[in-house]
Structure 1
Amino acid sequence: MSPIPIQDRQKIRRHVLGQEGDFPAYFSFYSDLTQRHSDYHLTIDAPPALLPITSDTILLATNAVRSNVVKTKKEVDKCFRRLLASEPKLGYNEKAVRMAIQAMLMVDPDAKDCHAADFTLGDYRPLSWGSDETLVGFARRLFPLSLSISQEAARVAVEYRALRARKLQRRLGARFRPTNNMAEHLLFDERRNCLYLFHHVAFLKAHLSRYRAEQKPLDVSLEESLGRGTLPPQLLVETLYTLQAVLFPSIDPESAEILDELIDKRGFDPDCAEYEGYGLFQDPPPSFRFVYWGERLAHLHQLMSRRPPRNKLERWFHRHSTEGNALFIALLALAFTILVGIVSIALSCVQIWITWYTWKHAA
């Protein structure tokens, strides 16, 4: 993996992240992204010359995307070509817009093309940005709003601390895997027991800082957010909150230990373990709801509730979990009732025997 030039890093921080910092996980992803698409393409100028795609090309493509979020993919590409006309040193690359969206929004606009036609993961199917579809329309398909019932179920699961990493690991045998595509966050592969997590916390914090600096509310519209080159703050907050408050809270030593191991061995962003807090974004208000990740959180909670314990350790954990306590108390009450009934029957038998014995000897 070739290093990214310092000048390119500075441009990306300023243009995409809006904040200074190292961003090791993000730049590792960015380097891999450019390496995978480092093939050569013809420039739009005549005579044609072979030039590689550069960070300047990607950043120019982000400008085309930001200014055309309500236009189709075809129209965005045309705008990109027009911008390139004033930059003769930059070559046209049909993948530049795709790479710009991945670098800017951390979603894959061609995810469907990278999987088999019948690939599914639960209810999730990879989506691609259609040529006649606007970016806003595509983003709405990627991040549909949860139903109110799912939002409530997710809230209950979070308040009862049922989805901490240690519980998921013990109850479901969950293995945590990083993903660079935010649309795959909180997807659980039941066949492999893998929970995919969007781990780029430094990226989330940088984008949230841009909203906080302007004192923007959580409900900034999708169209306005994309025009800024980012995703809605509600979505960013939910993603950050699920990582640092739901799955790996600092007050849970075992879950925090799991996170440390993921950072060391699985390439998770080191910022995942930085809990410096973000004011409103650290502790959401009482009215806060998981309007984007509610269904996936509710699904995880359902899996935790219905999956039976598989060994002695899981049975012990089940008895000490929220759902397990309720079942344990119910079974204890039933056993106590049966015991009281047996004692009552025994006492009745003794009483009858005493009465009979007294009557027999009195006669």
Structure 2
Amino acid sequence: MTPQELQHRKRISQQILGRDGEFLSYFRVYDDLVQRNNDFHVTIEAPQVQSITDDSVLLAVGVLRSSFPRTLKETVEHCQQLAASERRPHFHEKALNVACMAMFMIDPAAKENHAADFTVGDYRPSSWRLDETLGAFINRLFPPSLAVSQEAAKVAVGYRAVRARKLQRRLGARFRPTNNLAEHLLFDEKRNSLYVFHHAEFLKAQLSRYQGKTDPLVIGLEQSLAEGALPPQLLVETLYTLQAVLFPSIDPESAQILDELIERRGFDPDCAEYEGYKVFREPPASFRFVFWGERMAHLHQLMRRRPPRNKLERWFHRHSTEGNALFIALLALFISILVGIVSIALNCIQIWMTWYTWKYTP
């Protein structure tokens, strides 16, 4: 890595994440976002449009951190006015998308970046609306479950049921890395794929902002956004699901799956560094999965009723509802009768052959 690249990474990590670090997986995402959006300018838009630079992204980061109550439209206008007052190049609103992704690993244009019919279960990609504040957008992506279901609470206590090795054996699950935190723990039943937000070093960097604070898990969204970070409860739950639920170090098979994902699928190597996934020494007795409880409960339910994985299993699954119970019973009766008739016929043939051998053998 050149000195210029090292300086670039140090500047970004200090101003966005609040500390130095390698952040290998994080910078793959950041650099790709900047490059992709600049390629878009060259191929689609007018050639005089200014490129997205670190300066434009950091300008947007500062605005997001200091003025999060503004709507998206107001935020873009404020960034443009600030750039003009400081005699910077024209601010392009796509720099704000990169800034939002860099700060929170949340795609503010997810709806536009997916096909119109893209769905995973009940999940539909959602974008930041022009008349919506950043806080309202994040609340819409991560609605806290104030009354966690009994099933989710059961999973929160007995999380061993959804370890990686069990998901792989029972569901044939393939673990798919995602850079969008909103897609964490989504299970695509059509492809047997579990989306996993894997940027552990990013999560730890955000959690480090809350070190030393009293009772950090009660810190709300507005105070967190002022820090340039996500709520500690969401960060802790996400890192906890990675390192204590899916890939715990005390489960050698699950830990081996994680090592393979790091080597072959680009998972963040820091996932295998098991220190610092909580901002407290031990989880309090009242700790619950407020944000990821429902998705963990869904995984638990899938483990209990494994979905059909091929055409034959899907056929039986479609025809095994209560409404088709009589059909299944009649089909079973018919098969039993057919097997009985075949057995009788085979016995008759065997008796005849025995008689024939006795009658005509000298």
TM tier relative to shorter chain: 0.7 to 0.9
Structure 1: which 4+ aligned runs deviate by more than 6 Å? none
Q: Where do 5+ consecutive residues of structure 1 fail to align?
A: 43-47, 311-363
Q: Deviations along 1:59-89, whole A, 9 cap, x unmatched? A: 1011111222111111101110122023334
Q: C-alpha distance in 1, partners of 2:267/2:243?
A: 13
TM-score (normalised: structure 1): 0.78
1:269 maps to: 268
Q: C-alpha distance in 1, partners of 2:15/2:301?
A: 41
One-letter code of the match for 1:208? L
Does structure 2 conserve the Cα–Cα contact (< 8 Å) formed by 1:41 and 1:93?
no
Deviation at 1:215, TM superposition (A): 4.5
| Greater Cα offset, 138-147 or 166-175 | 138-147
Q: Deviations along 1:99-144, whole A, 9 cap, x unmatched? A: 1100111000110112233322111111011101111111111101
Gap change, CA 1:65 and 1:302, over 3 Å in 2: same
Does structure 1 conserve the Cα–Cα contact (< 8 Å) formed by 2:70 and 2:133?
yes
1:220 maps to: 219
Q: C-alpha distance in 2, partners of 1:146/1:118?
A: 27
Deviation at 1:93, TM superposition (A): 1.1
Equivalences for residues 1-363 of structure 1 within 5 A: 5-39=5-39, 51-146=50-145, 148-150=147-149, 152-160=150-158, 161-215=160-214, 217-278=216-277, 280-281=279-280, 283-307=282-306
One-letter code of the match for 1:34? V
Q: C-alpha distance in 2, partners of 1:90/1:108?
A: 24
Gap change, CA 1:192 and 1:52, over 3 Å in 2: same
Deviation at 1:221, TM superposition (A): 1.0
How many residues align? The count is: 305
Gap change, CA 1:283 and 1:185, over 3 Å in 2: farther
Gap change, CA 1:178 and 1:278, over 3 Å in 2: closer
Q: C-alpha distance in 1, partners of 2:305/2:279?
A: 34
Gap change, CA 1:70 and 1:139, over 3 Å in 2: same
Deviation at 1:283, TM superposition (A): 3.8
Q: C-alpha distance in 2, partners of 1:50/1:280?
A: 44
Does structure 2 conserve the Cα–Cα contact (< 8 Å) formed by 1:41 and 1:92?
no
One-letter code of the match for 1:203? F
| Same amino acid, percent of matched pairs | 62
Q: C-alpha distance in 1, partners of 2:74/2:5?
A: 31
Q: C-alpha distance in 2, partners of 1:177/1:278?
A: 21
* C-alpha RMSD over aligned residues: 2.5
TM-score (normalised: structure 2): 0.79
Gap change, CA 1:131 and 1:189, over 3 Å in 2: same
Q: C-alpha distance in 2, partners of 1:296/1:52?
A: 39
Does structure 2 conserve the Cα–Cα contact (< 8 Å) formed by 1:262 and 1:268?
yes
Gap change, CA 1:49 and 1:298, over 3 Å in 2: same
One-letter code of the match for 2:34? T
| Greater Cα offset, 170-179 or 4-13 | 4-13
One-letter code of the match for 1:261? E
1:320 maps to: none
User: What is the SS of the residue equivalent to 1:218?
Assistant: helix
Q: C-alpha distance in 2, partners of 1:308/1:90?
A: 54
User: What is the SS of the residue equivalent to 1:236?
Assistant: helix
